[in-house]
């Protein structure tokens, strides 16, 4: 019997040394469905959590650092208020790294340390990155001691840190999947600017030069049969699927959130549409397919374009032929 006990709200406070990866962690949590708020004044944190819960948001992440001096007097009280009722779970995630690593990261980003004041005179303030790191460690020591988990990012790349956070906070009932789109297009109009992988299918025989198929889109069964009856089309499809099935898990392992696969022919109306449909169908119901150029140059007398066999034909705007998901 399935339990109907509501899930307990979870609040994750993400803090730690500047340059240790707070932004990367917040982006990863956001991809997992957390409502993330960065640099929120601590005085507003408790009320922000309550408002989120009132709106049905049960997973909240708060990014907190030492830029606001009131942080030091208020953070302990704020954390106590958040977990006082016992109605929600509070976790403090503290990010740390070696001084040498933090100095290198600031050097690479060419940004000053959060606490550095380049106008300060010697002995009157923090002037350099290493001084800022030292002061920040002192101020964050009480919060580090209270942390539910301390993550040392010294030897972690941004991708490794992201994977660690996803492994820690991914809900047990929800699998994190990379969003995959297959986009058909015409090379005469240029490839999609967001395409990660591009396949050129222009070597296949072109239905455009067959009188009875010229005006039909690649979603029409007659065009589909013409293209797929070519032995090269079947071989190409299997080779593309072999490659995609090999690289997709590895992209997901590296923390990639989106993958766009472009399939191109000359005008984007026939061959690329057929192969895009076939790939999306074979890869699974979570894959979306879009035919970018299928309506370009289409005569008003041409048949309507159907997004899938068996689906009622619907006209699409010239600027966006439409996108669908397998069902």
> pLDDT category, 180, cuts 50, 70, 90?
very high
Please give the pLDDT value at position 4.
Answer: 43
Q: Using alpha carbons, list the distances in angstroms from residue 160 to 18, 134, 155, 157, 180.
A: 18, 26, 9, 5, 21
The whole-angstrom separation of Cα 185 and Cα 240 is: 17
Residues of the chain above pLDDT 70, percent: 77
SS (H, E, C) 229-289: CCHHHHHHHHHHHHHHHHHHHHHHHCCCCEEEEEEEECCCCCHHHHHHHHHHHHHCCCCEE
Mean pLDDT over the full length of the chain? 81
β-strand partners of 36: 61
Report which secondary-structure segment, H or E, holds 197: strand 197-200
Among the residues of the chain, which ranges form H helices? Answer: 22-31, 42-54, 71-84, 99-109, 129-146, 158-169, 221-228, 231-253, 271-283
Domains of the chain: 10-169 (3.40.50.300), 179-325 (no CATH)
What six digits make up the tokens of 123?
A: 């002995």
pLDDT confidence of residue 156: 87
Query: Which of the residue ranges 190-199, 237-246, 251-260 has the most confident prediction, judged by mean pLDDT?
Result: 237-246
Residues in the chain: 327
Give yes or no for residue 253 having a pLDDT over 80. no
pLDDT given for residue 136 in this prediction = 86
Lowest mean pLDDT among 64-73, 163-172, 240-249: 64-73
Distance CA 308, CA 311 (A): 6
The pLDDT score that the predictor gives to residue 126 is 57
Confidence of residue 65 (pLDDT cuts 50, 70, 90): confident
10 Å Cβ neighbour count for 202?
A: 12
| pLDDT interval class at 73 (50, 70, 90) | low
Give the pLDDT confidence of 194-214 residue by residue, as tens digits.
899 999 999 999 999 999 999
Of 34-38, 114-118, 283-287, give the lowest mean pLDDT range.
Answer: 114-118
Render pLDDT for 81-139 as a digit per residue (tens, 0 to 9): 887 767 788 999 999 999 899 988 888 876 766 666 555 544 545 557 788 888 888 88
Q: What is the mean pLDDT of residues 45-60?
A: 90
Dihedral of alpha carbons 174, 325, 241, 192, sign: negative
Between these two residues, 233 and 112, which has the higher pLDDT value? 233
CA distance 15 to 137: 12
CB 14 within 8 A of CB 93: yes
- Out of 32-46, 185-199, 295-309, least confident range: 295-309
pLDDT of residue 198: 96
Mean pLDDT of 61-71: 71
Residue 321 has pLDDT above 50, yes or no: no
Give φ, ψ of 283 to 5 degrees.
Answer: -75, -20
**In this prediction, what percent of the chain has a pLDDT beyond 90?**
42
Q: How far is CA 55 from CA 4, 50, 91, 228, in A?
A: 20, 9, 21, 50
Q: Is the pLDDT of residue 3 over 60?
A: no
């Amino acid at each position: 019997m399935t339990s109907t006990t509501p899930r307990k709200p979870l609040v994750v406070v993400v803090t730690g040394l500047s340059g240790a990866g707070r932004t990367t962690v917040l982006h990863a949590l956001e991809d997992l469905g957390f409502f993330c708020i960065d640099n929120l004044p601590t005085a507003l944190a408790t009320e922000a959590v309550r408002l989120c819960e009132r709106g049905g948001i049960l997973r909240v992440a708060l990014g907190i650092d030492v830029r606001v001096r009131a942080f030091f007097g208020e953070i302990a009280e704020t954390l106590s208020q958040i977990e006082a009722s016992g109605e929600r779970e509070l976790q403090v995630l503290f990010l740390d790294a070696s001084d040498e690593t933090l100095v290198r990261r600031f050097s690479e980003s060419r940004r000053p340390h959060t606490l550095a004041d380049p106008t300060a005179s010697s002995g009157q303030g923090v002037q350099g990155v290493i001084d800022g790191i030292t002061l920040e460690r002192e101020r964050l020591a009480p919060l580090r001691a209270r942390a539910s988990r301390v993550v040392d990012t010294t030897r972690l790349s941004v991708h490794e840190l992201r994977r660690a956070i996803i492994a820690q906070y991914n809900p047990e009932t929800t699998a994190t999947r990379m969003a995959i789109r297959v986009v058909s297009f015409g090379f005469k109009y240029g490839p999609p600017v967001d395409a990660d992988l591009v396949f050129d299918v222009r070597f296949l025989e072109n239905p455009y030069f067959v009188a009875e198929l010229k005006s039909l889109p690649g979603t029409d069964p007659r065009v589909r049969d013409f293209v797929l009856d070519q032995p090269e089309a079947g071989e190409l499809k299997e080779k593309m699927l072999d490659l995609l099935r090999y690289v997709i898990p590895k992209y997901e392992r590296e923390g990639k959130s989106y993958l766009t696969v472009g399939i191109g022919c000359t005008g984007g109306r026939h061959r690329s549409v057929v192969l895009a449909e076939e790939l999306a169908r074979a890869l699974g119901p979570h894959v979306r397919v879009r035919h970018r150029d299928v309506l370009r140059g289409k005569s008003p007398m041409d048949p309507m374009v159907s997004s899938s066999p068996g689906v009622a034909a619907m006209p699409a705007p010239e600027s966006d032929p439409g996108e669908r998901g397998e069902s």
